[in-house]
Amino acid sequence: MTTNLTADSGRTVLDTEFPSIDGARLLRRLDELNAHGAIDGGGVCRLALTDADRSGRDWTVAQMRALGMEVTIDAIGNGVAIHAGHENLPPVMVGSHIDTVRTGGRYDGNYGVMAGLEVVAALRDAGVRLRRPLAIAFFTNEEGARFQPDMMGSLVYVGGMPLDEALAAGGIDGSTVGAELERIGYRGDAPIGRPEVDSFVELHIEQGPVLDRMGVEIGVVEGVQGISWTEFVLEGVSNHAGTTPMALRHDAGYCAARIATFVRDLALRYDGRQIGTVGAIRFEPNLINVIPNRATFTVDLRNTDGTALAQAEAEVLAFAHQTCATEGVALRQRSLARFEPVAFDPLVTDLVQRHSDALGLSTLRMPSGAGHDAQMLARVCPAGMIFVPSVGGLSHNVREFTEPADLMRGAQLLMRVVVSLANRP
Amino acid sequence: MTTNLTADSGRTVLDTEFPSIDGARLLRRLDELNAHGAIDGGGVCRLALTDADRSGRDWTVAQMRALGMEVTIDAIGNGVAIHAGHENLPPVMVGSHIDTVRTGGRYDGNYGVMAGLEVVAALRDAGVRLRRPLAIAFFTNEEGARFQPDMMGSLVYVGGMPLDEALAAGGIDGSTVGAELERIGYRGDAPIGRPEVDSFVELHIEQGPVLDRMGVEIGVVEGVQGISWTEFVLEGVSNHAGTTPMALRHDAGYCAARIATFVRDLALRYDGRQIGTVGAIRFEPNLINVIPNRATFTVDLRNTDGTALAQAEAEVLAFAHQTCATEGVALRQRSLARFEPVAFDPLVTDLVQRHSDALGLSTLRMPSGAGHDAQMLARVCPAGMIFVPSVGGLSHNVREFTEPADLMRGAQLLMRVVVSLANRP
């Protein structure tokens, strides 16, 4: 199958003329998508490659086709829809992901894909075509909440991870990516990394409190923090909690708690750009009166400065080894994911800044605290991101919320940036 | 049903004449009991009132009956078997429990019950009766690993907990004590607290490393540590681990880790008699890239000094409140079990000491680090315990081990103490 990248119909818009997005239609699509996998509290659970994810994918693909777009699915399950341009050039791509964490919100990822649909719908309504084709992508397993690493689909798309390795990745429930893709019918036949992309723009909620607290409308995202995810497994000796003198213990649980507090203290000790989180922990046998013989936990470290991030990793590892050695507890660790900090391309960030200014929107130049598919696309083309505020900074939480006016502002800004990218010489 | 407490047959032994126990028979009974609920590594999983516990109870009751003992089961599932005496007096009781933790060893509790059977078997073999009847008890849910509080059966036996409350206690698996007793057929009809007990002796492995490390054969147990079990539930706010600045977090998991390390530091800061353990913990949603909004964990504090124990509890609670207040995390806690330190009766401890000396056994006067049914019986009669060494101090562990020679020595000592108690004027 060859995707049709050009079309003769439709007039070309000028760089000073931008169709208006239909905000109500954007909100409606968000509502409809989020009926798939809806959970109590207004949130969404569409863990990657589950039935709920399949259901959301099916609905999204149908929406794309209803806009006259050709949709391809590649072997890692990434979906790409093409709105043809006047010329047979690599497309300008927008998009994000529609998988969520277990206690996911309505906007994380979904907003970027739905805004892409709205941009195409508005272009169609206005009867215009752009010089370059426009692609909308939804990438597989961005969250990493079921399979690791996160950002898997976009990582594979840009050649950063072999397909076979990604397909073999095991899930928290014993499944594998490959088997689950087959099961839900999303192991497609499109070649990996096609189409080649001219440039990439991801519109996303901030997922942090900065824009909301400062009252700023748009975040001009200059780059993404480096991310380091490590799993530690500590092996001590289980023993009766009442009869074993403190000095004779090999308490894996105590070591885990001590390392967790070290992670927190380290993040505070470094400057404000260091983040450290212990989000998951498990003791065995996990009984009130038995000293844990095993503790398994994760450490999530992030920094915009790659050197500082490596220093933080080294400090945590050294402290963990030292603590465990003192307690007579064995330690092993494995990296679950690691990405260096990414700087976005001025081609995109300058357009985001310029069009924000033209629309009279207040802006803050900022890094992204979360990992995003855009950082993967940045390996192969000029890429960037637009942030809109998250109320209270809540995300990965069913109460995640962005004001409708902010959602609409962001989509209109995306329209202008996309038109400028697609029509540039 | 009236239990027959007297018998005319059999001669009375003198206080200087003690039948010899059959060590091989004792070991064989331990093996046979521990086939019920055997798990990998040589351990046992007979969580209270499970099918494995029923199976072990059925076997034990059959052994008692085979020794000509009358067995009664009371409404909380305690089993009591009577070896009749010459006179209709309250019996001297021995025994312990046969439930285990999930990763239980072969000796904890089981040894005391099997040694009781061996004492009765040896008395029968020698054709002797004692002045007072001899009772062997196995008490329900001593471990507290499935239902709380621990030592439930003996606590109810001595009137320390209303039967209804114990029957309503909920298990870690959503079951209740009452429903599970019904299910396994051990909600008996014997009245609670009957028979009244003359005195109580519990033979037990130390479950700690002290005797083993010092090379001492017998622990003359002078009392039991006070025990305080508390469950803490911390409620913070879940949020994206990459985008939420450290200073704006409400991280329930961090607070739990900080409190866990405080518990450890406190135990070290107090003198060597303070014990502190965080054995169980759970984060929610327990994902690598989400700040935990909830952390649930247990704190186990023990001390032989009741004042120091109360001080430790107060310090942990104050630190927990302070930590959570600083982090904007809500805290609630509930007591899962609390027992003041117990001092055993010199009637029993002196006999244990005297007969150890007579047998040429080395002794150490020591407190018990673990809670035991004997501390409950101490509320209603003179009670005491005999400890034998645990190799490496391991307990609540499938590798729990006591040398056969130590098991036999302890049982022979129990025979002498029981004869002296039962024949005293």
Contact B279 A241 (CB under 8 A): yes
Kindly state whether B244 is in contact with chain A, defined as any CB-CB distance less than 8 angstroms.
yes
Task: Answer whether B238 touches A (CB < 8 Å).
Answer: yes
CA dist B328 to B288, B324, B364, Å?
21, 6, 49
pLDDT at B11: 65
pLDDT in tens, chain A (425 residues): 345 566 656 666 555 579 999 999 999 999 999 999 999 999 999 999 999 999 999 999 999 999 999 999 999 999 999 999 999 999 999 999 999 999 999 999 999 999 999 999 999 999 989 999 999 999 999 999 999 999 999 999 999 999 999 999 999 999 999 999 999 999 999 999 999 999 999 999 999 899 999 999 999 999 999 999 999 999 999 888 988 889 889 999 999 999 999 999 999 999 778 999 999 999 999 999 899 999 999 999 999 999 999 999 999 999 999 999 999 999 999 999 898 999 999 999 999 999 999 999 999 999 998 889 999 999 999 999 999 999 998 888 899 999 999 999 999 999 999 999 999 99
Q: Is the CB of residue B232 less than 8 Å away from at least one CB of chain A?
A: no
CB count within 10 Å of CB A336 equals 18
Work out how many CB contacts closer than 8 A connect A with B. 253
Residues of A with CB below 8 A from B280's CB? 283, 286-288
**ipTM of the complex, rounded to two decimals:** 0.74
Domain ranges of chain A: 11-224+342-423, 226-339
pLDDT digit string, tens, across residues A234-263: 999 988 898 888 988 999 999 999 999 999
- Picking from A386, A380, A379, the residue whose alpha carbon sits closest to that of residue A348 is A386
Contacts 24+ apart (CB under 8 A), B316-320: B316/B230, B316/B259, B316/B262, B316/B263, B316/B266, B316/B276, B317/B230, B319/B259, B319/B262, B320/B232, B320/B255, B320/B259, B320/B262
Nearest-5° Cα angle at A411, A410 to A414: 90
Is residue A410 less than 8 Å (CB to CB) from chain B? no
pLDDT of residue B1: 37
pLDDT (0 to 100) of residue B135: 98
Considering CB atoms only, which of A227, A243, A371 is closest to B393? A243
Tally Cβ neighbours within 10 Å of residue A149. Answer: 20
Closest CA to B79 of B99, B94, B62, B57: B57
Which candidate in B244, B262, B339, B372 is best for mutational testing of the A interface (most A CBs within 10 A)?
Answer: B244
> Residue A29 is inside which H or E element, if any?
helix A23-33
Residues A388, B261: Cα–Cα separation, whole Å: 40
* CATH class of the domain at A226-339: alpha beta
Q: Is A168 on the interface with B (CB under 8 A)?
A: no
Fold adopted by A11-224+342-423: Aminopeptidase (3.40.630)
State whether residue B85 sits within 8 Å of chain A by CB: no
Within the 362-381 window of chain B, which residues sit less than 8 Å (CB to CB) from chain A? 368-371
CA distance A176 to A167: 7
* pLDDT score for A370: 86
Among the partner residues B254, B290, B368, nearest to A260 by beta-carbon distance: B254
Whether A118 has its CB under 8 Å from any CB of chain B: the answer is: no
Residues of chain B contacting A279 with CB distance shorter than 8 Å: 241, 253, 283, 286-292
Give A283-299 pLDDT, tens digit per residue.
999 999 899 999 999 99
